[in-house]
């Protein structure tokens, strides 16, 4: 149908997900302007431990990390995929500047608002910082890295962003990245570790309601951008964690039988009472799983850094 051909990529993906036998919405649609603002609130709350743990790692080990980044080279291209507000990265940047490392910072994020704010705040905090920004889906930008930046690249994927992918997707992403990296390039990744299940539960179902609002904001976005008529009072936030596999998942649950009209798509979606929409996965790892991922995608774990409670790890990988 001609109408289908005119639909945006987002509309096509959303309709496909909502018409699946087990409904889902891709987590990449979390980060509109409202979602990005809510996620900043999430990162500030005490229950959301990854932010503080990764910041602690950078503060404690920044000199060692910086020395590994610039080992045997004169210039480093610091490419951060999914940069967000760069809160933790500032600690590394300050350390590199203090050590007089010659580097350029290249943040990549899907949220235009986040990139604009990041650029402004970074230049204000670090007036002499060499910086080039990129806006878009970092999957589409991976192939550009080798062509555009001939110096050593340290590609950073922080904040446990990899945890949004299952094992097959993770290996596919990491393998693609490996293919476009030069032999001298490094990969620096943040990964959330398995721990007390109650600690994880509080991070994804917090008493402040930020994680609930973040999940429900997906429906607000569909109402605004696809002309949908989701009633947010008829859906609830439902997180789940499996301590055996280390997989945390988030769902939206319909609390009644209902139909939702997507005006711009000219379609109606039926929801049964207690039917779910799967919205996000957040994988937790142990070190055996991490080494397995590195090996399966053509990397070797060179060195790993932990916070004092060993809740989180930042791991530096080399190409094999």
- Shared-domain flag, residues 276 and 300: no
Which tokens go with 4? Answer: 């289908």
- Residue 4: per-residue pLDDT: 40
Whether residues 165 and 65 fall in one domain:
yes
Find out whether 264 and 227 touch, Cβ atoms under 8 Å. Answer: yes
Q: Are residues 91 and 172 in the same domain?
A: yes
Can you state the angle between helices 197-204 and 49-69, rounded to 10 degrees?
A: 100
44-54 mean pLDDT: 93
Q: Are 164 and 97 in contact (CB under 8 A)?
A: no
**Domain match, 97 and 152 both:** yes
* Confidence band, pLDDT 50/70/90 cuts, at residue 56: very high
- How far is the C-alpha of 141 from the C-alpha of 203, rounded, in Å? 31
Give residue 190's pLDDT band: very low, low, confident or very high (50, 70, 90).
very high
pLDDT over threshold 90, residue 174: yes
Closest to 193 (Cα-Cα) out of 102, 45, 94, 305: 305
Look at residue 3 and tell me whether its pLDDT is greater than 70.
no
Tell me, yes or no, whether 165 and 299 share the same domain.
yes
Which residue in this structure is represented by tokens 């995608």? 297
How many distinct structural domains can be found in the chain?
2
Per-residue confidence band for 178, with pLDDT thresholds at 50, 70 and 90: very high
Which one is predicted more confidently, 45 or 31? 45
Residues 83 and 175 in one domain: yes
Query: Over pLDDT 90: what percentage of the chain?
Result: 72
Other C-beta atoms closer than 10 Å to the C-beta of 124 total: 9
Among the residues of the chain, which ranges form H helices?
2-6, 9-18, 33-44, 49-69, 89-98, 112-125, 138-141, 144-148, 167-180, 197-204, 210-225, 287-296
Q: Which residues of 77-88 are buried (b: 16+ CB within 10 A; e: fewer)?
A: bbbbbbbbbbbb
* CA nearest neighbour of 318 among 162, 99, 152, 194: 152
Confidence label for 254 from pLDDT (cuts 50, 70 and 90) = very high
* Residues 192-220 pLDDT 10s: 999 999 999 999 999 999 999 999 999 99
**Residue 61: domain span:** 49-193+287-319
Q: And the tokens for 124?
A: 């204000």
Quick one: pLDDT band at residue 84, thresholds 50, 70, 90?
confident
The answer to whether position 43 is within a domain reads no
Q: How confident is residue 88, by pLDDT bands cut at 50, 70 and 90? A: confident
- How far apart, in Å, are the Cα atoms of 66 and each of 160, 240, 241? 20, 37, 35
> What was the pLDDT predicted at 182?
87
Check whether 5 has a pLDDT greater than 60: no
Global pTM value: 0.87
Residue 39 lies inside a defined structural domain of this protein:
no
Question: Does residue 1 register a pLDDT over 60?
Answer: no
Residue 180 has pLDDT above 70, yes or no: yes
Q: What's the confidence (pLDDT) of residue 8?
A: 84
Q: Which residues pair with 278 in a beta bridge?
A: 24, 251
Co-location of 70 and 7 in the same domain? no
Q: What is the mean pLDDT of the chain?
A: 91
Residues 181 and 225 reside in one and the same domain: no
Q: How far apart are CA 115 and CA 118, in angstroms?
A: 5
What share of the chain has pLDDT > 70, as a percent? Answer: 98
pLDDT, residue 7, reads: 67
pLDDT at residue 214 in the model: 97
| Residues 170 and 219 placed together within one structural domain of the fold | no
Provide the angle, in degrees to the nearest 10, between the axes of the packed helices 89-98 and 112-125.
30
Q: Quickly count helices (H) and strands (E) in the chain.
A: 12, 12
Q: Tens of pLDDT along 99-114?
A: 888 899 999 887 788 8
Residue 144's φ and ψ, nearest 5 degrees, are: -80, -20
> Given this model, what pLDDT does residue 123 score?
92
Per-residue model confidence as pLDDT tens digits over 280-311: 999 999 999 999 999 999 999 999 999 999 99
Q: Average of pLDDT values for 118-143?
A: 87
Does some domain include residue 157? yes
Q: Which of 7-11, 26-30, 70-74, 144-148 has the lowest mean pLDDT?
A: 144-148
Categorize the per-residue pLDDT at 2 as very low, low, confident or very high, splitting at 50, 70 and 90. Answer: very low
Measured in degrees and rounded to the nearest 5, phi and psi for residue 208 equal -85, -15
Residue 73 and residue 14 share a domain: no
Nearest to residue 106, comparing CAs of 140, 141, 71? 141
71: number of CA atoms within 13 Å, CB side? 12
Q: Return the pLDDT at 6.
A: 56
């Amino acid at each position: 149908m001609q109408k289908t051909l005119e639909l945006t990529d987002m509309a096509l993906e959303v309709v496909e997900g909502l018409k699946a036998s087990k409904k889902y919405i891709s987590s990449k649609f979390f980060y509109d302007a409202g979602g990005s603002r809510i996620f900043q609130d999430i990162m500030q709350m005490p229950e959301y431990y990854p932010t503080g743990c990764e910041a602690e790692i950078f503060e404690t080990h920044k000199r060692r990390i910086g020395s590994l980044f610039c080992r045997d080279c004169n210039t480093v291209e610091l490419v951060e995929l999914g940069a967000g507000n760069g809160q933790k990265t500032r600690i590394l940047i300050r350390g590199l500047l203090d050590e007089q490392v010659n580097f350029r910072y290249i943040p990549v994020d899907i949220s235009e608002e986040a990139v604009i704010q990041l650029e402004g705040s970074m230049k204000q905090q670090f007036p002499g910082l060499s910086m080039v920004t990129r806006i878009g889906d970092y999957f589409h930008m991976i192939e550009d890295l080798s062509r555009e930046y001939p110096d050593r690249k340290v590609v950073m994927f922080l904040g446990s962003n990899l945890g949004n992918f299952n094992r097959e997707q993770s290996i596919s992403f990491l393998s693609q990245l490996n293919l476009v990296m030069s032999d001298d390039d490094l990969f620096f990744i943040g990964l959330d570790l398995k721990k007390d299940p109650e600690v994880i539960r509080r991070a994804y179902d917090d008493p402040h309601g930020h994680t609930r609002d973040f999940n429900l904001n997906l429906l607000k976005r569909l109402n605004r951008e696809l002309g949908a008529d989701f009633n947010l009072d008829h859906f609830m936030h439902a997180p789940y964690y499996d301590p055996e596999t280390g997989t945390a998942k988030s769902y939206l649950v319909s609390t009644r039988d209902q139909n939702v009209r997507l005006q711009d798509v000219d379609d109606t979606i039926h929801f049964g009472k207690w039917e779910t929409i799967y919205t996000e996965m957040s994988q937790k790892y142990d070190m055996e799983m991490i080494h397995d991922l590195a090996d399966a995608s053509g990397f070797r774990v060179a060195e790993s850094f932990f916070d004092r409670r060993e809740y989180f790890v930042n791991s530096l990988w080399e190409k094999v």
